Structure 1
Amino acid sequence: MATVHTPPEDVEPQRRSGLIGALSRFGRTSAEAEPAAAPAPPRPATVSSARRLYDRIGDFLFRHSLELTPLNFGAAHDVVGDINQELINAVSKSLLEGEPISNAWIERFYGERPEDGLGSGKLEDIANSVEAELGRCIALIGQSGTAQKEFGDALTSEIATLETTPAQTLSRVVELTRKMVAQTRSVDQELRERREQAQTLRSTLRTANRVANLDHLTNLPNRRAFEKHIRDLTAAVPRSQKPVLAMCDIDHFKKINDAHGHATGDRVLKLIAKQFQEIAGDFCFAARFGGEEFVLLFQDTSMEEAAAEIDRIRTGLLERKLVDKDSGRPLGQVNFSAGIAELDDLADVHATIERADTALYAAKNAGRGRTCVAA
């Protein structure tokens, strides 16, 4: 029988403790050798100018009684920061003519210039930035994993030579460990920075997407969101019943603005939008189409049922006694006309909108305050 010689009981622990002790000493030495954290640099002078800009933006918003929406913040920034000269000129012109700068005024300004808003191109840029940052995070994680595997393989190889060349092996293990620690610190730091950047971009994307699809005055989806909803329906499983599209337009809205001012007109828009918002859900998508015009898209609903739902909203409006809260004067009855049509082809929704529009004008010509069905 072959005899296996084992070292005395205290030799192996000494060898292990020597290796571990050397590594732990290396760790302590490395930590102690690191320079102390540099004191925080003094705040740059630009902070005070940024604060002044922030205060001026707030002053603009509160001076004009604007709601704290992303669109209004952007407009205030462009005005007080001398960034958008066209907007600055338009604001000056309106104030000289006695027209207040209201939520609706800013909405109209940007609505007439869609390229100034958060269009699909800008959203795509933000989405691409998020994707790129996440890609860099994934690459860094892979890089860290590869480095750890290489370190493990090298450490296994070195330990195999521990008995024959303990001093040299220990030196090489310490060097490998030093490199691994440095590389891990570098990767971890960059990974944290990339992750924070990706989270910031992701949050920006969510906000931008919400802002780009929301009507800032009424909080209803806007026309862009309506068109996206149609595209989603086109890609969905077809239903047996055709959707019903309704175009609704507030009657005599210009007279309300002229008689009571744009602020009251804004409140009327919000009031009617709220009625449409209350019926929005799985079977109805409601959006502000532009100006005083709204669009409703009913699913799993017949033409008769859609017309009845619109008439129910109209009846509820007519029963309300509305008063201009600024002047105390009664507004009279606020009403709207509607035209409805079946959406025959989701791929050609514009044809249905034209048919519903034709029915809407028929309702206007017939005396307003009614719903007409497209032929």
Structure 2
Amino acid sequence: MAEDIEARFRSPEAYELARLALEHLESQRIWPTPVNYELWSYIIAEPNGALARELERLLVAGEPITDVLTERLASTYLPKGRLSEQIRDTGKALSRELASAEQAIRTAQESSENFSSRLEETTRTLEKDPSGAALQDVVADLTDATKQMQLQNASVERALAASTTEVAMLREQLEEIRKEAATDPLTLLANRRAFDEAIERIRAEVSEGGGDFCLALLDIDHFKKFNDTWGHQTGDQVLRYVAGVIRQRVAPPMFAARFGGEEFALILPEESLSETAFLVEQILKDVSVASVRRRSTNDNLGVITLSAGIACYRPGDTVHDLIERADASLYNAKRRGRNRLAVEGDG
């Protein structure tokens, strides 16, 4: 899908996409910064995509479109596009270091071949003239060749050591880029893109090899009230607080992500419905165990509560099927009064 959008940006309709993006920005009185232009270009190109849906939700909720918000959206929904240049540059540097190591190895091979040739020549010389004078010349020649070989080997060792160190650093850098591309910057949980990839991979594995897994969706109750009453920075504090509780309870192979807005998702491989329900109940209790205070003023924000819904994989399920049932369970928990868990099949 991303490749299709990129192709559209290079097609004759690119000018039309650009015009529409600028029109949307102007109609909503949003300054056309590079980040905003990039976001709205993707929204126009993929109006039913996750980014467009999230922005629509924010607009309906009355969220102001600030630079902080647009940077967060870009980091969450456009990681590959925004990090592609960094990945490309690191990849080029890695290729250069590997080429340098390859050249060092080739040089060592040539040096070894030259040394072998000189040994063969020396052997032929001794066979033709085994006199003391010839032997003295041979020893001098071998001494010189050995010194050259030692110098060359030392140079190769230094080159390989430097390349090995640089390659290790570049690999670490690529790993950091990969993590950044898969992480929601506000909560430090996996982002929606990473969630989509993870649940599709796990569903395919279970579908082919058997087994079970469950999906839990958790939503902060009355979250809009925090934003309206205390402002969006306090809302962000609440999101980070809930995410911190989730990180303490969820460990690999379990998978936790910010699903969107104030909603979180947990993928629990090899966990039964009852085991998943127990874990989610613990998270709900941990979140609501004490009042939270506003960091900037120490005002009491009250108790934070979550509603949650669970669905477990059924043979033949698509990812959409599973999410739909978990979402229906979440809605059931909200309908029944919030601050509770509902599982699929509950009345």
Q: TM-score normalised by the shorter chain: which range applies?
A: 0.5 to 0.7
Residue in 1 aligned with 2:25? none
* Aligned mates of 1:355, 1:124 — CA distance in 2: 40
Aligned length in residues: 284
Residue in 1 aligned with 2:180? 211
The answer as to 2:250 corresponding to 1:285 is no
Distance 1:236 1:194, change over 3 A: farther
| Contact kept? 1:283, 1:301, Cα under 8 Å | no
User: Could you give the per-residue CA deviations for residues 215-257 of structure 1, whole angstroms, max 9, x where no partner exists?
Assistant: 3322223334434544654448977652110111112222212
Q: How does 1:196-275 map to 2 (within 5 A)?
A: 196-230=165-199, 233=202, 234-235=204-205, 241-275=211-245
* Aligned mates of 1:333, 1:364 — CA distance in 2: 17
Residue in 1 aligned with 2:119? 155
Q: 1:294, CA displacement in angstroms?
A: 0.8
User: Could you give the per-residue CA deviations for residues 166-207 of structure 1, whole angstroms, max 9, x where no partner exists?
Assistant: 576467547745764675466445434433431231121122
**Which of 55, 63, 75 is matched with 1:110 structurally?**
75
Residue in 1 aligned with 2:340? 370
| DSSP-derived class of the 2:125 partner | coil
Aligned partner letter, 2:72 = E
* Aligned mates of 2:150, 2:210 — CA distance in 1: 64
The answer as to 2:294 corresponding to 1:324 is yes
Q: Using structure 1 for the length normalisation, give the TM-score.
A: 0.61
Distance 1:173 1:328, change over 3 A: closer
Residue in 2 aligned with 1:295? 265
Report which stretch shifted further, 139-148 or 179-188.
179-188
Q: How does 1:300-319 map to 2 (within 5 A)?
A: 300-319=270-289
| Contact kept? 2:108, 2:156, Cα under 8 Å | yes
* Aligned mates of 1:308, 1:173 — CA distance in 2: 77
| Contact kept? 2:258, 2:265, Cα under 8 Å | yes
Aligned partner letter, 1:272 = V
| DSSP-derived class of the 1:332 partner | strand
Q: Using structure 2 for the length normalisation, give the TM-score.
A: 0.65
* Aligned mates of 2:114, 2:215 — CA distance in 1: 63
* Aligned mates of 1:374, 1:329 — CA distance in 2: 38
Distance 1:352 1:208, change over 3 A: same
* Aligned mates of 2:142, 2:169 — CA distance in 1: 40
Residue ranges of structure 1 left out of the alignment (5+ in a row): 1-83, 91-96
The answer as to 2:342 corresponding to 1:342 is no
* RMSD of Structure 2 on Structure 1 (CA): 4.0
* Aligned mates of 1:316, 1:362 — CA distance in 2: 21
Aligned partner letter, 2:231 = G
Instruction: Determine which structure has more spread, i.e. the larger CA radius of gyration.
Output: 1
**Which of 136, 141, 160 is matched with 1:191 structurally?**
160
| Contact kept? 1:110, 1:116, Cα under 8 Å | no
Q: How does 1:60-71 map to 2 (within 5 A)?
A: none
Distance 1:198 1:150, change over 3 A: same
* Aligned mates of 1:301, 1:282 — CA distance in 2: 12
Distance 1:127 1:303, change over 3 A: farther
| DSSP-derived class of the 2:302 partner | coil
**Which of 9, 23, 34 is matched with 1:86 structurally?**
34
Distance 1:255 1:364, change over 3 A: same
Aligned partner letter, 2:175 = R
Residue ranges of structure 2 left out of the alignment (5+ in a row): 1-31, 39-62
| Contact kept? 1:288, 1:294, Cα under 8 Å | yes
* Aligned mates of 1:139, 1:150 — CA distance in 2: 16
Percent identity (aligned): 31
User: Could you give the per-residue CA deviations for residues 20-64 of structure 1, whole angstroms, max 9, x where no partner exists?
Assistant: xxxxxxxxxxxxxxxxxxxxxxxxxxxxxxxxxxxxxxxxxxxxx
Residue in 2 aligned with 1:50? none
Aligned partner letter, 2:259 = F
Aligned partner letter, 1:86 = P
| DSSP-derived class of the 1:322 partner | strand
| DSSP-derived class of the 2:255 partner | strand
Q: 1:149, CA displacement in angstroms?
A: 4.5
